[in-house]
Structure 1
């Protein structure tokens, strides 16, 4: 299973999310993972619907339990993890491998990371 983890600001648009995913150059993902408090944003829901992908909600404790490759002090202070995108992608998989570390959309409003593994 291939999962795209997303972190994004409240002002992110569907284009912000699309741009972040496109920067990973991954041709196919099976699901989107994002923090619970972001999962129902209009931009994310529109993006998921346009790509026919399920949205997997990740709670704070699951994100914090994952070691991320990228370490942002600002994100660690606010979310308790070094990278929201990486933590979300990894948290929903067993035997997970981060295949693409966090990338940032051109408008700097969204991040995306890709992980591969077995569904929990």
Structure 2
């Protein structure tokens, strides 16, 4: 399974998130983020537009993932250096791997990372 993890600032739009997903490589079958972000209206709107489910993960699940990007500010708030990377890995399951580090949308308001499951 190909999972897109997303992270974003409060001012992000669906266009911001779509841009980040495109820059990350797209093609996701599932969206994932931190629990609080997955419940945000913009995340729900993105999921609806793409016809995908979005799942949210708590601090403990995000912190358990080995991410490529390290942001101290993000780590303090969410327990991981990258919400997008950690959420993608958590949703893709044990043995999942990232296709690369998270990417940032052109407007700087959203991030995305793609993970694939162990059997991909």
Question: Normalization by structure 1: what TM-score?
Answer: 0.92
Counterpart for residue 104 of structure 2 = 104
- Alignment partners' CA distance in 2, 1:64 and 1:58: 10
Deviation of 1:118 (Å): 5.1
Deviation of 1:101 (Å): 1.4
Match status 1:70 vs 2:69: yes
Deviating beyond 4 angstroms after TM superposition, the runs of 4 or more aligned structure 1 residues are none
Does the CA contact (< 8 Å) of 2:103 and 2:112 recur in 1?
A: yes
- Alignment partners' CA distance in 2, 1:76 and 1:39: 18
Deviation of 1:44 (Å): 1.1
Counterpart for residue 80 of structure 1 = 79
Residues paired across the two proteins, number: 118
Aligned ranges 1:56-67 → 2 under 5 Å: 56-67=55-66
Deviation of 1:25 (Å): 2.6
Counterpart for residue 42 of structure 2 = 43
- Alignment partners' CA distance in 2, 1:42 and 1:105: 18
Does the CA contact (< 8 Å) of 2:25 and 2:114 recur in 1?
A: no
Deviation of 1:56 (Å): 1.1
